[in-house]
Copies of this chain bind each other. A is one copy, B any other.
């Protein structure tokens, strides 16, 4: 009994069941044209030696590996993770496995990982960006389909999925207007982030539509609590009549709330506050709990997975899909 390898192979199963490898294969894969009794024998043999089919061998033959590569720019970013989870989840159900790579925002490393993934014959790729600013395409001549999530590709031939931040901004503004606030300010992060500009544009649009304008203008700064505090102190000094503050992120909003409490401004009585990102721990830990805009990133990740599976089976799409965001009301509005 020459134990060629430690792991049992189909041949071992076949031998044990007293059939040929081919029959064993058919039996295990539920092909009809196998005598029930034979199948039972094979199945029990497989069970007995705890046989696990070698997906590699299968993939070699089939030309499909049932794995996809996921290249992310910054794992530690708040955005990659939910997308990753959504994708992992969506794939998981369909028995696809995810090979994960973190390129650390470095295009050399990205290229390197790309090669590794291609070498492992992934059936497709998801590229997750860390910001919504367009990023260079991985290229058109890849042997497998690619879906860009969160950070779109600059190439319109690629398929990209991004949250609709313009509408997110507009919705949040309208949400406040509907609740009777008219003097609305906007404190946000670095202006060189498309996300910041998009949200600001959305807000501006909605306000204009209602015949209003942003109190004090869009205040770009940084995505930090500190900036939220600083900007707020300045804002309430210059515009004591402000009724609502839309923030570019939950972090900023925390700073805003902090500064407001410091100055004993009642939230939401005197001024309403909204965050963005709906980062639970931040939003729920806030006092009062923070109303925020959720970009539905898990859904985005799940959709990316679905789109990729579609693409793998031949349904090509391209362009940028803007995905809806949603407002999560809490106590600050």
A residues near B (Cβ < 8 Å) are 5-7, 52-57, 59-60, 63, 65, 67, 70, 75-76, 81-82, 84-85, 88-89, 92, 95, 97-102, 109, 113, 115-121, 143, 224-226, 229, 251, 254-255, 258, 281, 285, 287
Specify the chain B residue showing the minimal Cβ separation from A258: B287
Q: Are A76 and B67 in contact (CB under 8 A)?
A: no
Q: Are A88 and B102 in contact (CB under 8 A)?
A: yes
Q: Are A100 and B88 in contact (CB under 8 A)?
A: yes
Whether A60 touches B60, Cβ cut-off 8 Å, given contacts A53-B119, A88-B100, A116-B95, is yes
Q: Residues of B contacting A99 with CB < 8 Å? A: 67, 97-100
Whether A224 touches B285, Cβ cut-off 8 Å, given contacts A56-B56, A65-B56, is yes
Q: Which of B60, B76, B116, B226 contacts A285 (CB 8 A)?
A: B226
Copies of this chain, count: 2
Q: Are B119 and A92 in contact (CB under 8 A)?
A: no
Q: Residues of B contacting A255 with CB < 8 Å? A: 285
Whether A85 touches B102, Cβ cut-off 8 Å, given contacts A115-B52, A117-B97, A225-B285, is yes
A-B contact pairs, 13 of them (CB 8 A): A7-B121, A52-B119, A56-B120, A57-B60, A67-B120, A88-B101, A98-B100, A225-B285, A225-B287, A226-B285, A251-B285, A254-B285, A255-B285
Specify the chain B residue showing the minimal Cβ separation from A98: B100
Q: Residues of B contacting A118 with CB < 8 Å? A: 52
Q: How far is the CA of A104 from the CA of B221 in the complex (A)?
A: 37
Specify the chain B residue showing the minimal Cβ separation from A225: B285
Q: Are A102 and B89 in contact (CB under 8 A)?
A: yes
Q: Are A75 and B102 in contact (CB under 8 A)?
A: no
Q: Residues of B contacting A75 with CB < 8 Å? A: 81, 84-85, 88
Q: Which of B60, B81, B224 contacts A81 (CB 8 A)?
A: B81
In the assembled complex, the CB of A277 is this many whole angstroms from the nearest CB of chain B, namely 12
Q: How far is the CA of A63 from the CA of B4 in the complex (A)?
A: 11
Q: How far is the CA of A117 from the CA of B96 in the complex (A)?
A: 11
Q: How far is the CA of A119 from the CA of B67 in the complex (A)?
A: 12
Whether A55 touches B7, Cβ cut-off 8 Å, given contacts A75-B81, A75-B85, A81-B76, is no
Q: Are A92 and B113 in contact (CB under 8 A)?
A: yes
Q: How far is the CA of A52 from the CA of B226 in the complex (A)?
A: 49
Specify the chain B residue showing the minimal Cβ separation from A78: B281
Q: Residues of B contacting A7 with CB < 8 Å? A: 121, 143
Specify the chain B residue showing the minimal Cβ separation from A69: B97
In the assembled complex, the CB of A4 is this many whole angstroms from the nearest CB of chain B, namely 10
Specify the chain B residue showing the minimal Cβ separation from A226: B285
Q: Residues of B contacting A65 with CB < 8 Å? A: 56
Q: Residues of B contacting A88 with CB < 8 Å? A: 75, 100-102
